[in-house]
A and B are shown apart, each in its own frame.
Chain A
Amino acid sequence: DAGITQSPRHKVTETGTPVTLRCHQTENHRYMYWYRQDPGHGLRLIHYSYGVKDTDKGEVSDGYSVSRSKTEDFLLTLESATSSQTSVYFCAISDVGAEETQYFGPGTRLLVL
């Protein structure tokens, strides 16, 4: 498996609180992605990054922000968590973008009460 870690792996939080999830890679890959996975919806892209400080929105970006200040770290922040953001969040990395393999992290299970 590629060197990708996500933290925390599990989190329970309350509605209205900010939450930050971290994705860390040791592969020096240029592209990093945040997905959420919910039953019946497959993998939906939240935000992605194509370099340090270069990010773009995915299909479900409302309520989320990201930052990438170093190649190895990509942070996903839920500004004010809502119950609809209860999900499993996956980070993925790629060296060449969409033309080659994406390697996924182990995921973070987030429960918003």
Chain B
Amino acid sequence: GQQVMQIPQYQHVQEGEDFTTYCNSSTTLSNIQWYKQRPGGHPVFLIQLVKSGEVKKQKRLTFQFGEAKKNSSLHITATQTTDVGTYFCAGPHQGAQKLVFGQGTRLTINP
């Protein structure tokens, strides 16, 4: 079945270091969405990418959608303790109005 793989599963960094998580889909996606879940919280929508090769920035966060629309990345520059949490990517399932989520990357930060 359709799968979305995300790596790494865990990442621990020192505060101020950069962080990147990668997302790969088994199928071409019409869009890709990113969510953040703080510890003990619920997933919160961050951004949606739709166009091939699209790059969007939110302050220190940079999101990219691959040219083939099968992969994506999230890069955080100079991490802060507020960036702690699990980051999920998700893409629409082909033929149904539901999302397929990656397993998430859990980011922890040493202050």
A residues engaging B (CB < 8 A)? 31, 33, 40-45, 48, 50, 56, 58-59, 90, 92, 94, 96-107
Cα A96 to Cα B103 with chains together (Å): 23
What's the tally of chain B residues with a CB closer than 8 Å to chain A? 25
Q: Are A104 and B43 in contact (CB under 8 A)?
A: yes
Q: How far is the CA of A59 from the CA of B91 in the complex (A)?
A: 15
Complex Cα gap A97–B45 (Å): 14
- Count CB-based A-B contacts (< 8 Å): 60
CB pair A98–B43 under 8 Å, yes or no, is: no
Nearest B residue to A43 via CB reads: B101
Nearest to B101 among chain A residues (CB) is: A43
Distance in Å: Cβ of B53 to nearest Cβ of chain A: 19
Binary per-residue interface labels of chain B (82-94) against chain A in the complex, 1 for a CB within 8 Å, 0 otherwise:
0000001011110
Q: A42-B88, A100-B48 known; A105 and B98 CB under 8 Å? A: no
